[in-house]
Structure 1
Amino acid sequence: MSVFAALHTSSQAMSTQSHVMERISGNVSNVNTTGYKAFDAHLRESVNHVTPKGSFVGVNAVDIRHMDRQGSVLATGRGLDLALNGPGFFVTNPAFDGSGTQHFTRNGATTGRVGEDGNSYLATVSGQYILGWAADASGAIDTESALVPIQLDSTEGLAGEPTTRIAFEANVEAGSTQGHSFEVGVWSSPGENGENARYSLVMSWTPGAIGSNTWTVGYGVRGPDGAVTPLEDTTEVTFNSDGTYATPTETPVLTVPLGEGVSNDIEIDLSGMTQYGETGFVERRQEVDGFPSGRVSNVQFDGFGRLTADYSNGQTRTLYQLAIADFPAPQNLTDVGNSMFTYDTDAGEPLFFAVENQFSRTSVQPGSLEASTVDLASEFSRMITTQRAYSTSATVYRTSDEMIRTAAALKQ
C-alpha cells in the first residue's frame, strides 16, 4: 500500500469511528428515554481503490436499529401510562381530524389534550393524539372502522336509562294474617337533557286465607315528592307447601306512571320469593336496570388496551380499543425524533390490530412504561474500543503525513 493510500484509508477509518462514537453517544444520552431503541453501528469493508497490483479496501459504518428488542416494563402508578410487551407501535396523529402525518411510537407516556370539540383526549407528551377504535353503545369494537382520537372525558356525560325490569327476592311470613310492603327504586325515562328522576315501586303483600299459600300483591308509585299513587294492577302469587315459589309462571308486566304523561312498562320477576315460617318478612335481593345520568369519574385501560370509564352513577362502559401497528421491517421506519417514527415503504405495509386475548403476541401493560433498550455497560465498553481504534487510525494518518512531509523535504 502506498503512503497516499495509507493516508486515505486512515482518514476513512477515523471518519467511520467518529460516526460509531456519535451513535454510542446518542445511545448513552437516551438511556432514560422511554421507548428508545438503541442503535448499533457495524463496520463494513468497502473497496477503496483498485490498482494493477491489487484491490485496496477501506471501512465504513452501517447503522442498525434493533426495533425488535423489548425494553424492560417499569410500573409508574399512572393509570393512563401504557407499555407494549411484544412487537408493535402506538399510532398517533398531530391533527384532531386525522389529516396530519401518522406517527408510530413505543413511548406510552400520556397526557390529556383538549380537542377541537372541547372534550379531553388521550395524547402523547409531545401533544399528538393517540388513536384507537370507538366502541358502540353495547361496548363492541369494530377494528375495520376508521381510527379516531381516544376520548377521555365528555362534556355530555352518560344519559340516564329508564327501568324496564325488576328481579325481587324476599320472604313473606307463612301463616301471617298481616300484610307487608316492600319498596324498589326505579328510574323514569330521561328527558331532553338526558336526566331522569328516581321513583319507588311500592309492593303491598296481603295474605289470603290461612293455609291457602296465596298472596295478593298490590302496587303503588312513590314520586320524588313522597306521595304514593296506587295502581289498579294486582298479582296473585302462590307458594308450594314447602314454601317455594309456584305461580305465576309468566313474569307480570306493569305499566308504571313515572312523571306527567310518561309511563314505563316494567317486568316484575318474583320467582325468587319464598314463604317460610318463623323467619318474618325479610328482603334478600333486588336487581333493577335503569340508572340516572352521570359524569365520568375515572378512566383506565385494561391488559387488552380497552379504555373503560366509571361513571358517577355506578355504571361502567367500554369506550375505546387501543390500536397497535406492526410492520414487516420496522427498522426501516423513518426516525423523526422523540422516539417517533413515520412510515417508509421499505418498512412494508402496516398491520393495524387490537389485543384480543391473553395469547396475543403483544400485550398492553397499563400503568407502566417501556424503558430504553440501551445497555450502558455495553455502550461504555464499545466506547473504549472505538476510542482506541480512532487513536490507532490517527497514528497511521499522522505517520503517513510525516512520511510525505519528509519525502517532500528530501526532494527540495
Structure 2
Amino acid sequence: MGIYGAINAAISGLRSQSYALENISGNIANSQTTGYKRLDTSFSDLVASGGTDQTTQIAGTVISNSRATNDIRGDLQRSDIDTHMAVNGDGYFVVQEKIGEQDGRPIFSGTNVYTRRGDFTVDKDGYLVNGAGYYLFGNPIDETTGNVSGTVPELIQITNDFMGARQTTEIEYRANLPTYPITAQSDATVPDSELLDSTITAGNDILAADKTAFLRSSVAGEAITIYDENGSPVNVQVRWAKSQNADASVPQNAQWEMYYLTDADAAGPDPVWKHAGQFEFDGSGALVSPTGGNVTLSNLTVDGNNVGDVLFSFGSDGLTQYADPNGAAKVKTLSQDGYASGEQTGVKIGGGGRIVATYNNGQTRDLYEIPIASFAADARLERLDGGAFAQTTDSGEPLYSATGTIKGNTLEASNTDIADEFSKLIITQQAYSANTRIVTSGDEMLQEALNMVR
C-alpha cells in the first residue's frame, strides 16, 4: 500500500503543479492586459486514513485551487486619452455587454457585470466602451441642480448637443480708486482740478456735448464682454470720475461717479455715457455708500443691445480708495456669469468621477457621475472574459458605497509581477520534476518486489 500510496501522492502533485503552471502561464500572458487580476494557486493536503493517532498517519495527496487577487490593485499609469479612467482603491465600474444590433441600434445583455478595466472611449453612437467591449453605466446629472438625478445606473450615452447661451445677470468688479486721480485736466497746483468737470452735473448721464470734458476729467475702469439672452456679445466699458462731495459736514469723505459707455455715436439729447452709480468712501479708504457695495443697472443697453438688469457686485470690501502713484483705477477682479452658445468639443473625466463635456465657448457641463460598486466577498465573483466579473450568491449583492475613487487620464495596469511569476515558475518546475522522480522510484521499487518471486 505504501508504494502505491506514494505513486498516487506523486500523481496528485503532478496534477497540482500542472494546475499552478497553467495559472502562471495565464498571468504572464496577461501581464500587459489593462486591469487584469492575476490568479495565484493554493495547495491543500488530503490526509490519508490512519486513525486519530498522528504517529500512525502518513502524508497524503494534494489538491490545488485558484486564489483570486481582485483586491490587489495594479499600478496606476498616466494616459493621454481623456476618457480613460482607473479606480484608485476598492470598487468596480458597472458595465454591460453588447449582444447585437436591431434597426441599427445596439442591444445590450440587460445584466450588469463589473470590471476594473477603464480604457473607455466614445463609440459612433456616443457610448463609452472599453477595450474588451463592455459599455459603461452611470448616473445622469441634473443640469439645473448639478446633482445626481437617479440612484439606478443607466447606460451612458453622450450626445453632441449645443449648449444654450446664458444671459449675463451679474458682473463681479473689485478695484481700487486713487485718492487723487490723474486725468487729462488734473493739475496738482489747481484746486479741485482732479474732479469731474464743473460743467457736468454729477449723477447725470453724459451727453454728446459733454463727451470731451468728461473724458478729460475721468479715468478708465477697464471693459468686459457680457452676453444678452441670445448669446450675442456686448462690450461694457467703465469709467470713473471723482466728484464734489455734497455733504460739506463730512469733508474727509470722497465721492466717485461710475459710468458705462452706452452709445459711442450718440448725438443731441441721447447719452453717450450712462450714469451707473455714486460711491462714497471714508477717510480710511473704505466704502460707506452704497451699503453692501452692490448696484443694479436697470436695462443695461450698449449700442441698442439691451441685456436687461445686471448686478454690479463689488462686495463690502471689493471697492476701495487708496493712494496710487499713477492716479489710475486698478481693477483686481472683473468677471461675469454669462456666455455665448457653444458646440461640444470633447469629454473628459473630472473630479468625483464625473463625465464632463467641454464646449468651444469655454464652458463645461457635468453629464454623468460614474458609480463604483463593491462586494462583501470580491474573491467569490465569477470571472468573465475581458477582465469582467459577475456577481454570485457567495459574492453578495453590489454595494454602491465603495471607498475607491476614480482618476481620469489614468489606467490600472495588470497586477501581475513578471519577476514574481518567474520565481513561482522555477519552484513549480522543480516540484513537478521531483514528483516525477517519486513515480520513477515507486515504479522501480515495484519492479524489485515483483522480481523477488522469480
Q: 1:314 Cα shift?
A: 1.9
Match of 1:156 in 2: 161
Letter in 1 for 2:337: D
Match of 1:73 in 2: 76
SS of the residue 2:400 aligns to: strand
Match of 2:196 in 1: 176
Match of 1:266 in 2: 310
Match of 1:129 in 2: 135
Q: 1:3 Cα shift?
A: 5.0
Q: CA RMSD in A?
A: 4.1
SS of the residue 1:252 aligns to: strand
Range 371-380 or range 175-184, more displaced:
175-184
1:390 aligned residue (422, 425, 432) = 432
Structure-2 change in CA distance of 1:202 and 1:366 (3 Å) = closer
Cα distance between partner residues in 2 of 1:164 and 1:258: 15
Match of 2:295 in 1: 251
Structure-2 change in CA distance of 1:392 and 1:232 (3 Å) = closer
Is 1:114 paired with 2:156?
Answer: no
- Does the Cα contact within 8 Å between 1:217 and 1:237 map onto a contact in 2? no
Cα distance between partner residues in 1 of 2:398 and 2:142: 25
Q: Percent identity?
A: 27
Match of 2:115 in 1: 105
Gaps of 5+ in 1: 191-195, 355-360
Letter in 2 for 1:179: F
Is 1:350 paired with 2:401?
Answer: no
Q: 1:161 Cα shift?
A: 0.3
Q: 1:87 Cα shift?
A: 1.7
Letter in 2 for 1:332: R
CA-to-aligned-CA distance 1:205-249 (integer Å, 9 cap, x gap): 6776x5544647476368xxx999869985551434657655444
2:234 aligned residue (195, 199, 207) = 199
Cα distance between partner residues in 1 of 2:88 and 2:324: 59
Cα distance between partner residues in 2 of 1:248 and 1:304: 41
With the length of structure 1 as denominator, give the TM-score of the two structures.
Answer: 0.77
Is 1:364 paired with 2:411?
Answer: no
SS of the residue 2:262 aligns to: strand
Range 97-106 or range 61-70, more displaced:
97-106
Letter in 2 for 1:266: V
SS of the residue 1:353 aligns to: coil
Q: 1:332 Cα shift?
A: 0.9
With the length of structure 2 as denominator, give the TM-score of the two structures.
Answer: 0.71
- Does the Cα contact within 8 Å between 1:163 and 1:289 map onto a contact in 2? yes
- Does the Cα contact within 8 Å between 2:262 and 2:274 map onto a contact in 1? no
Q: 1:38 Cα shift?
A: 1.8
Q: 1:269 Cα shift?
A: 3.9
Q: 1:31 Cα shift?
A: 1.9
Q: 1:313 Cα shift?
A: 1.4
Match of 2:172 in 1: 167
Q: 1:336 Cα shift?
A: 0.8
- Does the Cα contact within 8 Å between 1:131 and 1:147 map onto a contact in 2? yes
Structure-2 change in CA distance of 1:3 and 1:129 (3 Å) = same
Match of 2:148 in 1: 142
Cα distance between partner residues in 1 of 2:45 and 2:38: 23
Is 1:380 paired with 2:380?
Answer: no
Is 1:314 paired with 2:349?
Answer: no
Match of 2:29 in 1: 29
CA-to-aligned-CA distance 1:264-295 (integer Å, 9 cap, x gap): 22223467566779855646243222100112
SS of the residue 1:352 aligns to: coil
SS of the residue 1:346 aligns to: coil
Structure-2 change in CA distance of 1:236 and 1:340 (3 Å) = closer
Cα distance between partner residues in 1 of 2:434 and 2:240: 100
Structure-2 change in CA distance of 1:188 and 1:67 (3 Å) = same
Structure-2 change in CA distance of 1:260 and 1:23 (3 Å) = same
| Total equivalences in the alignment | 391
Map 1:38-49 → 2, pairs under 5 A: 38-46=38-46
